[in-house]
Structure formats: C-alpha cells, structure tokens
Amino acid sequence: MSKQINVALIGNPNTGKTSVFNALTGLNQKVGNYPGITVEKKEGICKLPRGLKAHIIDLPGTYSLNASSLDENVVIELLLNKNDKDFPDVAVVVSDVENLKRNLLLFTQIKDLEIPTILVINMSDRMAYKGISLDIEYLEQQLETKIALISTRKNNGINELKELITNYKELSTTPCLNASTIDEAYFDNLRKAFPNQLLYKLWLVITQDVNFGKTDRKTIDAVSDFKTKSERDLKRLQQKETIKRYQFINDTLKKGQTIDLKTAKDLRIKLDRILTHKVWGYLIFGVILLTIFQAIYDWSSVPMDFIDSTFASLSEWTKSVMPEGAFTSLLAEGIIPGLGGIVIFIPQIAFLFLFISILEESGYMSRVVFLMDRIMRRFGLSGKSVVPLISGTACAIPAIMATRNIESWKERLITILVTPFTTCSARLPVYLIIIALVIPEGRFYGLSYQALTLMLLYLIGFGAAVGSAWILNKILKIKSKTFFVVEMPNYKLPMFKNVAITVLEKTKSFVFGAGKIILAISIVLWFLASYGPGENFNNAEAIVTEQYATENLSEDELNQKIESHKLEHSFIGIAGHAIEPAIRPLGYDWKIGIAIVSSFAAREVFVGTLATIYSVGSDEEETIKNRMAGEVNPILGGPLFNFASGISLLLFYAFAMQCMSTLAIVKRETNSWKWPMYQLVIMSGFAYIVALIAFQVLK
C-alpha cells in the first residue's frame, strides 16, 4: 500500500493556484465544504514518483496570515492545528512571477511556522515578455527553500514540482528572517512563559484570536508573569512585522530579480481604458452577454433535440420490452421522464459555465466587477457585492458563501438577501422550456426572440436584486462605510484544461445535485399520480366507457380518456385541484400548480415534475415539449401554455424564492431563521402579484 502525504496549496488570489491544482490533480478532485462552515474545500489526489500519493488541499486565497475574513481564518487554523487530519506535511506556496514581492509576504509568514515549504513561481512563460530574470539559486539560499519555476499554460516544471514534493523531508524548516526583533523584550517574555511552544504560533494566537491545541488567547492572558498588549499596541506591532518582512523581501529581490523595463511590453493599460470605459465598457459587456445567450440557444439545439427524443424513445422501449406492472410503470412513467427533464438541459448549462469560466480565466470578470461598482454604490452596495450577484448566475448557494469577504455586516446582509433574485442555472431549465413553448422562433437583427427573452429575464433578475437592495438600504438602519478594492489580474488566454475541468465539475455537481432530488420527487409524484382514493379512480374504466358510450372513439382515444380521468382523480390530481383556485388567476391549471409546489424543493424540479405528470399513462411516443404544447386551458379554451400564461410563469419563477437549500444557507450565514423566512414570504408574495398582473393584462 503506497504512502499518502498531505500537501497544502496556499497563495494570494490570482496567482494561478487553481491552475497548479488542476495540473497536479486533473480530474481526481472533489469539492465540498469545511466541517461546520460554508467555506468551499477543494481537494484532490496526485500520483508522485516512487509510488507516493499526495492528498492535495487547495486552500482559500489569502494575502497574509493576518486574517480579515473567514476564508483566511480557515488557512490559519489548519496551519496551526497539527492534530487536524488535513495538516500539511508540506506547504506549496504559489506565487506569480509578476507580483513576486507581494506574494512573498505570505511565504515568509508560513516559513515562520516551520512547516516544510516549497515556493512555486508560476507564469514563467511571461518572464521574457515582461523583461524579468531570476537568480533561482540565490533566491533559494536567501529564502531557505526550494523553488519550482513553472508555467501551467505550457505545462513546464510540473514534474520538477512533483519531485520536490516527493523529497519534502529534505526541505529546510528554518525561517527566512527573525520577526521577533520588532519588540525583543516582549517576545523574550513570551518565549519564557511558553518555552515549549513555537513563538510565531503564539503570536498568531494573540493577534488573530485563533486556537491551536490547548493554547488560546485566554490561557496566554492567564499566565501570571506574562501580560498581553492592548489591541492598539498589537496592531502597531503587526504593522512593524509587515514592514520588516517587506524590507527583507526588497533586499532579497534587489539581487535575485532583475526587471528590464524597456523589454516589458504592456497592452493591459490600453485594454483597460476601453473595457472599463464609462460608456464603451458597458456597451462591450452588453454585447458579450447577448453573444453568450445567443450561443446558448444556437449551439445547444441539436444535442437537446437528440436527448429529448432519446428519452421519449427509451420510455416507449421500456414499456414494450418489460412485462406490464407497477415497476415497469414506475420506470417508464416516473424515473425515465423525470431524469430526462434534467438531462435535456445539460448542453445549455454546460455552455453557460463554459462562458463564465472563460470570462474568469481571461481576467475580464474582474473588469466587470470594477465597472459595475459605479452602479452598485448608488444602491447601497459595495463593488464586492457584484461578485456574489454574478456568481448567482451559476448557483445562489456558493454566491451567498462568497459574501464572506464583504467587511460591512449591512452590505453583506443586503447582498445575501437579494442574491437569490439573480437568475441561477436551476431556473434555466424552467425558462428554456417555457420560452420554447410561448416565444416564436423569429429573429430581430440576427438575434433570436428566444435568446433576447432569456437575456431579458437575466436583466430583470439583476434589476430586482439591485432594486430590492436600494429599498433594504433605506429600511435597514445599520451605519457602516467600507472602501472597494479589487485586484485587476493580467489578461491571459484561458487555459483549455482549467475551463474544461470547471465546466465538467460544475455541470456534474448541478446534474447530480439536482438529480438526487428529481429522482426522489419523480418516484413520489409517480406514486401520487398512479394511485388514488375512492370509486372515481378505482372504477375509472367503467365510468369513462359509460360516459363516452355514444361516441365512436378508437381504442387509443378511449384509453387516453381513461388515463386522463385517473390522473385527475389520483392523489396528485386531488391535491392539484385543491390549490387550483389560488393559481387559476395566474393562468395555471392544477398540473402546473403541482409542479410549482414540488419545485420549492429545487426550481429545476419543475420540468421533471411536468415530465412525470404528462408521461403517466401516455402510450404515445412524443416529447414532453409536444405534450405540454398540446395542453388545453379547460376554462378559456386554446393552448394552456400561451403567451399570457407563459410570461406569467416566467415572471413567477424570476422572482419567487424556490430553493430550500438556499434558505438553509441563508439561515447558516445570518445565524437566524428570521431573514430566510422574510425572503420566502416577500419574494414569493411579490412573484405572485407580478405574475397575476402580467396574466390579467396580457390575456
């Protein structure tokens, strides 16, 4: 059995840490959360030389060990706790060749923890372009470490990095500088009071208020011959420590790094002038969004049609080859259509994640954040709120987690409360099926009406988010002021491997996350739709045969009438009819009502629910889309899914809070059920009113 070691990947944001993680682990990775908190935990397995395996943990990006957010606290607490199962045998600090000075601050702090540490200098392929040269031997000597000069883009240096990780026991654990000289008397007293503890760990416990082992700030305060300093004095000492570290880094880089400014070519400033321009910036961003939504429709139509017809055929094939009975019915009318209702949207969801990943990888997303800050400030939000709002287009749950780097509680709370308005990928299946049914396929200046409608729904969601933020800013009487700082990374061509892994992982997590819920709900719905109480259900065949005795119906038509009668008097039919009076003014029938209620578990269940309901008892080999298009409004006549009811349904889903997982995350982030309950009641009530007005006006 091969030995496994723990490797912690640590680094500043935008140093290419994710690229290094992907280069080492490939597809052998998974994403979860740290126990008890909602900070994302990425880990993977890497095979090393000589049969060794590395369990690699990609820690949240941090600028230093002077934590200012929960993400950064995760890094510190892991590095302090030797008893943690993930405590690293070796730390790999990832730096960017163009920002080496800033990145080395974190490196020198980690070296003080006496953990074997490797310095990775990434993006080495840009050195010639930027006129940078490094004396690696000198830097290794001064920094007391081994350096891996790599380029994840060119796949250079990865094998050398693996070799260094394999030989981690040969690494020096000596700190590169003596930080305790900032106040020798204070640190001498600290050393005497706790002779068996590492000095820098004690310093972090005092300044960061974190724990390691049985030592915390209270135990240090309790030692009679040692007195901690005031908060102001500690802050002053932290500043002195940072200055001392930068003095050491400057002295090291004077000899170890050479930059020829004449050679350095920089297109970035010219691009930034255009892409962050107060007019052109917004125009370019609008064109990019339009292109994305057009591509989502045009590129995915062929695979979607194929998936739709395949699941319809699979359902029919199952019925034809398996013996009649409850299990065959469950499989053909419950499970297969339910799963088909989510699998059909894989192409569009994959394309959405593809474009988002390309925008992030290229460095353009940071420009969007900067650009949108000008607008966000008017609504009482910081520019940092834009990150969760844009992330919300994938999923509200990680987007709400992303609010943790917003320092102001008021801005963070408002961002948490309004983020669910942004159109997430779970709404996408609902939007796409309804748009396909009620919006014609024509084009306006080359852009399809359907793509324009989809973009409009995204804009409506974003507008609702910032509009409600403005109202909340006026209502919530919490005084706070923060400054918006965003780092503009260099522009770079997106790496195919990073984009592919992101698309695969995100799509997989969406499909499997939604798939579990949909499968369970599909089985429950099939049961509720296949069985019912009383004579109306049990004697359906006799009742319908007698009712249509005078009409000359074919056997297929009679069977269809029997199945329709059964469905209406099944458990699900009874429940649907019970809520129908409340939803009829919105243009919905009892079937849509069931889909809406079931989709409070997760929005994407809507399509799976309708797929299950419409497939129960169906002998015809036709797609769910055709079945829905053929539904007739029992009161008004004509198609049930017409323009008025379609727009009403789209608006209801644009505004309603229909995701139990999001409510649970909001509860965890705000530490109260008050805020998620407000969200549920206000958003759903607002959605009902808007949908009601839309249908009554358009019908």
Q: What is the CATH number of the domain that holds 54?
A: 3.40.50.300
Where are the strands (E) in 418-529, listed by range? 443-444, 447-448
Q: Could you give the CA distance from residue 80 to residue 47 in angstroms, rounded to a whole number? A: 26
How large is the C-alpha radius of gyration of the chain?
A: 30
- 660 and 643 within one domain: yes
Same domain, yes or no, for 209 and 96? no
Q: What is the pLDDT of residue 369?
A: 74
Q: Is the full-model pTM beyond 0.85? A: no
Please give the torsion angle defined by the CA atoms of residues 211, 217, 218 and 224, in that order, rounded to the nearest 10 degrees: 130
pLDDT higher for 99 or 230? 99
Residues 189 and 330 in one domain: no
- Among the three residues 170, 190, 220, which one is the final residue of a domain in this structure? 170
In a domain, 35, yes or no: yes
Residue 588 and residue 630 in one domain: yes
Give the pLDDT of residue 484.
57
**Does residue 574 lie within any of the structural domains?**
yes
> What's residue 636's pLDDT?
61
Same domain, yes or no: 627 and 520? yes
From 131, 153, 170, the end of a domain falls on 170
Please enumerate in sequence order all residues whose Cβ is within 8 A of that of 682, keeping only pairs 6 or more positions apart, or say none: none
Q: Are residues 222 and 294 in the same domain?
A: no
- CA 610, CA 340: separation in Å to the nearest integer? 11
Average pLDDT of the segment spanning 310-315: 84
Per-residue pLDDT at 622: 47
Residues 298 and 166 in one domain: no
Q: Note whether 86 and 235 are same-domain residues.
A: no
| Integer Cα distance of 210 and 63 in angstroms | 18
Give start and end residues of each alpha helix (H) in 170-230. 184-193, 199-208, 217-222
pLDDT higher for 694 or 340? Answer: 694
**How many angstroms separate the CA atoms of 599 and 215, rounded?**
48
pLDDT at residue 512 in the model: 72
In a 13 Å sphere around the CA of 692, the CA atoms on its Cβ side amount to: 11
Q: In the chain, what percentage of residues exceed pLDDT 90?
A: 19
- Which is more confidently placed, 180 or 627? 180
Are 493 and 640 part of one and the same domain?
yes
Per-residue pLDDT band at 652 (split at 50, 70, 90): very high
Enumerate residues 6+ apart whose C-beta is below 8 A from 466: 375, 376, 379, 381, 418
Q: Does a structural domain hold residue 564?
A: no
Residue 241 forms part of a structural domain: yes
Average pLDDT over residues 80-101: 90
- pLDDT category at 113 given cuts 50, 70, 90 is very high
Q: Do 154 and 211 sit in the same domain of this protein? A: no
> Could you list the residue range(s) of the whole structural domain that residue 659 is in?
266-363+374-398+426-441+479-531+570-699
| Cα 67 to Cα 87: distance, rounded to the nearest angstrom | 19
Asked if 411 and 373 touch (Cβ cutoff 8 Å), the reply is no
pLDDT tens digits, residue range 243-288? 999 999 999 999 998 887 655 456 677 888 888 888 898 899 888 8
Q: Is 653 inside a domain boundary?
A: yes
The predicted-structure confidence for 155-188, as pLDDT tens digits, reads as follows 889 999 999 999 999 999 999 888 888 888 888 8
Tally the domains of the chain.
Answer: 3
Based on the fold, state whether residues 163 and 21 are members of the same structural domain: yes
Q: What is the pLDDT of residue 613?
A: 65
Does any domain span residue 452?
Answer: no
Three-class secondary structure of residue 159 per DSSP: helix
Q: How far apart are CA 144 and CA 194, in angstroms?
A: 26
- Report the pLDDT averaged over residues 76-88: 87
> Where a domain ends, among 138, 170, 202?
170
The DSSP call for residue 212 is: B
In the block, tokens 């020798």 appear at 184
Poorest-pLDDT segment among 43-57, 346-360, 390-404, 611-625: 611-625
Distance between CA atoms of residues 539 and 536, nearest Å: 6
Q: What are phi and psi of 34, to 5 degrees?
A: -65, 145
Which of 138-147, 222-231, 302-311, 372-381 shows the highest mean pLDDT?
138-147
Which is more confident, 239 or 516? 239
562 part of a folded domain: no
Is the model's pLDDT at 146 over the cut of 80?
Answer: yes
Residue 309: pLDDT band with limits 50, 70, 90: confident
Contact 486, 369 (CB under 8 A): yes
The percentage of the chain sitting over the pLDDT mark of 70, rounded to a whole number, equals: 83
Ranges 70-84, 110-124, 212-226: which has the least confidence: 212-226
* Helix pair angle (199-208, 70-80), 10° resolution: 150
Q: What is the pLDDT of residues 426-463, one digit of tens each?
A: 787 788 888 888 888 888 777 788 888 888 998 899 89
Task: Tell me: do 274 and 254 sit in the same domain.
Answer: no
Asked if residue 35 lies in contact with residue 22, where contact means CB atoms within 8 angstroms, the answer is: no
In a domain, 448, yes or no: no
pLDDT, tens only, 582-617: 988 998 888 888 888 777 766 766 776 676 666 554
